[in-house]
Amino acid sequence: MKVLLAGGAGYIGSHTAVQLLRAGHEVVIVDDFSNSSPEAIRRVEELGGKKVVSYEADVKDKEKVRQIFRENDIDCVIHFAGLKAVGESVRLPLKYYRNNIDTTLTLLECMEEAGCTRFVFSSSATVYGEENDPPYVETMKRGSCSNPYGWTKVMMEEILEDAAKANPKLTVILLRYFNPIGAHESGRIGEDPQGIPNNLMPYIAQVAVGRRDHLTVFGGDYPTPDGTCLRDYIHVMDLADGHVKAVEYAENHRGVEIFNLGTGTPYSVLDIIKAFESATGVKVKYEIGPRRAGDLPKFWADSAKAQKVLGWKTKRSLEDMCRDTWKWQKNNPMGYGK
Instruction: Report the alpha-carbon distance of residue 274 to residue 163 in Å, rounded.
Output: 45
Helix (H) or strand (E) holding 234: strand 230-235
Contacts for 2 with CB less than 8 Å, ≥ 6 apart: 25, 26, 27, 28, 72, 73, 74, 75, 76
Contact 173, 250 (CB under 8 A): yes
Tell me, yes or no, if 96 is annotated catalytic.
no
SS3 of residue 14 by DSSP: helix
Contacts for 199 with CB less than 8 Å, ≥ 6 apart: 85, 179, 181, 191, 193
Q: DSSP letter at 125? A: G
Give me the catalytic one of 149, 177, 203, 249: 149
Query: Measuring CA to CA, which residue among 145, 12, 178 is closest to residue 81?
Result: 12
Instruction: Report the alpha-carbon distance of residue 327 to residue 182 in Å, rounded.
Output: 9
Q: How many CB atoms lie within 10 A of CB 213?
A: 8
- Provide the annotated active-site residues: 149
